[in-house]
Amino acid sequence: MAVVTTGINPILTHLSNVYLGNRFFYALGGVVLLSALGFRYAALFFMAVIGAALLLLGTIYDLYRLYRSASRISADRTPPSVLSLGDELPVTITLGNASTTDLRAVVTDELPEQLQVRDQRISVLLPAATRQTVSYPVRPATRGVYRFGDLNVFLQTAWRLAERRLVAPQVREIAVYPSIVGMQHFRLEARANVPHGGKSQPRPVTRSYEFDQIKTYVRGDDLRNVNWKATGRRGQVMVNQYETERAQRIYSIIDKGRTMLMPFAGLSLLDHAINASLALSRVILDGQDRAGLLTFSDKLGDVIPADNKPDQLARILQLLYRQREREGESDYDLLYYATRRVLPGRSLLLLFTNFESNYALDRVLPTLKRIAKNHSLVVILFENTEVAALLQEKTVDIGSVYLKSTARRYVQERQLMALRLRRNGIRVVLTPPEGLSGAAIQEYLRIKRKGF
């Protein structure tokens, strides 16, 4: 519990933290009116003098009660240990009044500048010898460190002639990570999505390309695995044996280029992709597969090899937290090079990207086809929900007809992009940004059931 303090220099602190209440000015206005009428009616001027004296004495007494109670007031902020990108989380404020005076408090928290909130006021009644708890939601729209300042508590008695501000030192920095709340939500949803009366389907077994040992050939071994050098040395047929691996490699590939800067629902497309990648990685690891991550733009970004070690999710979370967008055009030839040189063996790749038009897709489609030859590729595209919403509006004039026609053409162009990718053997997910996490997870689960 943080006790409210008043600073080092008592005189300066008292003067800077004392305010006159609205009731004081209302009463002062009445005194001025009476004094003005006193020029015509002498009795009213005498009443104005008495009223002014009573107002002064009452204000002094009100201030005395505030100062006597102030040392018995406490305030404490309890925020989450970390904040979740795009999710509302409560920040709790606990106020204590250990004095014998009933008070009214208005709390103003010094919020991080990233939230862009400048008019916060939380009113609380503080009866004598009680504690009150209030909360307010915080929804961060960017990743990074958010700095909360002090708590400002403005106190008034029931008279409300004066007001005193108390400052509770509560400076604290809190990191905003990709959506941890969304990750937990989709993790539980994926666990609940178990078919066949609670029994999971058998997973297809695929051969790993990781060498295990050389052994003597027996009937039924794959002749394509014959090791001719070992056969020549031993004088009998020898074959290479590979590990039978059930854990598949799944990589979330995030485009950080210019086209991912577009905002939807308060978050950029890049942040939507980051939140979806975190939730997807959690589901992948729960499914005993190997989760990995690769980012790119005009330069190759960070790479986390696919693995299912206990600390893999923490590594992915920290890397996603550090990602920053770039304003250049994304280099898909560089992505192809990375998939050939960095990613071992055949993997499932879920590419979060955005194309502005079919002309932009034409430039990268040959490269995507080359990637799809070596890996199982899923391209995840975003629907522009704001443009799609224009199709539901009423047509009232020529301008709205033109706007609606343009919106329909845009939506059809996105659908054509998805169709062209599918015709070239590339899986596609076309989804609104707010439904990205669920759509990506459902596609992974669907491919997992059918086999990679």
Task: Kindly report, residue by residue over 304-341, the tens digit of the pLDDT.
Answer: 999 999 999 999 999 999 998 888 889 999 999 999 88
Say how many domains are in the chain.
3
In this structure, are 236 and 128 located in the same domain? no
Residues 6 or more apart whose Cβ sits within 8 Å of residue 123: 104, 105, 106, 107
Band (pLDDT 50/70/90 cuts) for residue 65 is very high
pLDDT beyond 70 at 285: yes
What is the DSSP annotation of 106-169? EEEE---GGG------EEEEE-TTEEEEEEEEE---S-EEEEE--EEEEEE-TT-SEEEEEEE-
In this structure, are 406 and 266 located in the same domain? yes
In this structure, are 129 and 251 located in the same domain? no
Distance CA 279, CA 76 (A): 33
Alpha carbon separation from 382 to 249, 274, 391, 437 (Å, rounded): 24, 14, 17, 12
Band (pLDDT 50/70/90 cuts) for residue 40 is confident
Residue type present at position 259:
T
Task: Kindly report, residue by residue over 232-256, the tens digit of the pLDDT.
Answer: 888 888 888 765 555 789 999 999 9
Band (pLDDT 50/70/90 cuts) for residue 15 is low
In this structure, are 319 and 376 located in the same domain? yes
Q: Residues, the chain, total?
A: 452
DSSP state letter for 41: -
Q: Single out the residue in 162, 177, 192 at which a domain terminates.
A: 177
In this structure, are 259 and 368 located in the same domain? yes
Range of the domain at 232: 210-244
| pLDDT (0 to 100) of residue 203 | 45
Highest mean pLDDT among 12-16, 17-21, 52-56, 389-393: 52-56
Task: Kindly report, residue by residue over 80-123, the tens digit of the pLDDT.
Answer: 999 999 999 999 999 999 999 999 999 999 999 999 888 889 99
| Comparison of pLDDT for 43 and 223, the residue scoring more | 43
In this structure, are 216 and 334 located in the same domain? no
Enter the pTM of the model: 0.79
Contact criterion met (CB below 8 Å) for 270 and 260: yes
Phi and psi, residue 117, nearest 5°: -115, 120
Beta bridge partners of 250: 291, 348
CATH number of the domain residue 157 falls in = 2.60.40.10
Burial of 30 (0-12, 13-18, 19+ CB in 10 A): middle
Q: Of 253, 247, 272, whose CA–CA distance to 261 is shortest?
A: 272
Tell me the mean pLDDT in the region 4-18: 60
Q: Single out the residue in 133, 162, 177 at which a domain terminates.
A: 177
- The DSSP bridge pattern shows strands 263-264 and 267-268 to be antiparallel
DSSP state letter for 3: B
Distance CA 183, CA 86 (A): 12
Could you give the count of Cα atoms lying within 13 Å of 287 in the half-sphere of its Cβ? 35
Residues 6 or more apart whose Cβ sits within 8 Å of residue 127: 97, 102
Of all residues in the chain, the percent with pLDDT exceeding 70 is 89
In this structure, are 405 and 339 located in the same domain? yes
Starting at the edge strand that comes first in sequence, how are the strands of the sheet with 151-156 ordered? 18-20, 162-168, 151-156, 103-109, 122-126
Alpha carbon separation from 161 to 34, 50, 67, 242 (Å, rounded): 19, 17, 14, 84
In this structure, are 144 and 189 located in the same domain? no
pLDDT beyond 80 at 13: no
Tell me the mean pLDDT in the region 382-409: 75
Task: Kindly report, residue by residue over 149-176, the tens digit of the pLDDT.
Answer: 999 999 999 999 999 999 999 999 999 9
Q: Whole-number mean pLDDT of the chain?
A: 86
Residue type present at position 214:
I
In this structure, are 125 and 49 located in the same domain? yes
In this structure, are 102 and 214 located in the same domain? no
In this structure, are 355 and 372 located in the same domain? yes
| pLDDT (0 to 100) of residue 207 | 46
In this structure, are 159 and 195 located in the same domain? no
Phi and psi, residue 60, nearest 5°: -65, -40
Distance CA 151, CA 136 (A): 13
